[in-house]
């Protein structure tokens, strides 16, 4: 596995490979053929940022049959997706802010695809070559707004509603990974990417027939059953097999 992250030390923002708690700074284009410094930087004292700066976040809905059932919605015949605002991104360790405390706001653990090359109209069999890697994510949702509107962008695009990271794994098979969410240490969601209705390669192919995908773009692949409300003081941890955990708190 090869974990790549985006970091800040003072005013310096940089990409680096993460190996056993140490950083090896990247030189060149992270989506190209970069080289890495041989001298390690200790991870301690360095701020972890959102791992990419996408032009867009594409969120896929109802992509696990059990989640479709729990929300009383039919299983889609083709991927259902919408755009989320990139300003909703939140780094590992950041705080999810609930804008309307009297609304129900839910966690949604998801595997995220990170695009590595500009792509348009790619076949599923060729999609892997355009994927940079995978990371953990959440698609935080104001359920009260979602249930009152036919469009889902607003209820999912509030600032801090897209926790992402901490790192991108560039060498991992996405098709058989355990996906879990823990709320204050209690297991709330527990599934596997083998249960996706439309797998990662199908999603990249389908979305690329509708819009051009650019390096750094994020595709949220959908959440499983077990969604539930969050409240101030919660600790939310997304654990996806083979990836570093994504941990955020709520205020």
Residue 176, exposed/middle/buried by CB under 10 A (0-12, 13-18, 19+)? Answer: exposed
pTM of structure = 0.96
Question: Mean pLDDT throughout 61-66?
Answer: 90
For residue 110, is pLDDT > 90?
yes
Percent of the chain residues past pLDDT 90, beyond the cut: 91
Q: Domain residue spans in the chain?
A: 3-48, 57-250
According to CATH, the topology of domain 3-48 is SH3 type barrels. (2.30.30)
* Residue 73 pLDDT class (50, 70, 90 cuts): confident
Q: Retrieve residue 38's tokens.
A: 């041989």
b/e per residue, 38-48, with b = 16+ CB within 10 A? eebbebeebeb
The highest-level CATH class for domain 57-250 is alpha beta
pLDDT value for 126: 98
pLDDT value for 68: 82
* Residue 71 pLDDT class (50, 70, 90 cuts): confident
pLDDT value for 231: 96
Between 73 and 60, the higher pLDDT residue: 60
Average pLDDT, whole number, for the chain? 96
Q: Which tens digit of pLDDT belongs to each residue from 91-107? A: 999 999 999 999 999 99
Q: How many CB atoms lie within 10 A of CB 195?
A: 17
| Equal CATH topology for 3-48 and 57-250 | no
């Amino acid at each position: 596995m090869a974990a790549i992250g985006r970091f800040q030390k003072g005013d310096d923002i940089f990409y680096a490979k993460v190996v056993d708690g140490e950083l090896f700074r990247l030189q060149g284009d992270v989506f190209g053929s970069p080289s890495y410094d041989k001298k390690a930087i200790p991870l301690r004292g360095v701020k972890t940022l959102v791992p990419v700066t996408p032009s867009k976040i594409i969120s896929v809905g109802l992509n696990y049959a059990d989640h479709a059932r729990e929300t009383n919605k039919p299983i889609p015949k083709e991927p259902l997706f919408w755009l989320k605002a990139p300003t909703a991104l939140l780094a590992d360790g950041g705080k999810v802010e609930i804008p309307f405390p009297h609304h129900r706001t839910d966690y949604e653990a998801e595997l995220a695809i990170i695009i590595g090359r500009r792509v348009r109209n790619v076949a599923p069999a060729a999609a892997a070559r355009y994927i940079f890697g995978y990371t953990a994510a959440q698609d935080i949702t104001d359920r009260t707004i979602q249930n009152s509107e036919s469009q889902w962008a607003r209820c999912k695009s509030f600032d801090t509603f897209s926790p992402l990271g901490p790192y991108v794994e560039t060498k991992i098979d996405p098709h058989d990974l355990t996906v879990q969410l823990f709320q204050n240490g209690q297991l709330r969601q527990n599934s596997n990417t083998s249960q996706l209705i439309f797998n990662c390669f199908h999603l990249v192919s389908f979305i690329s027939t509708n819009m051009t995908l650019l390096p750094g773009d994020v595709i949220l692949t959908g959440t499983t059953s077990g969604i539930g409300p969050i409240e101030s003081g919660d600790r939310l941890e997304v654990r996806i097999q083979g990836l570093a955990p994504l941990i955020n708190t709520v205020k």
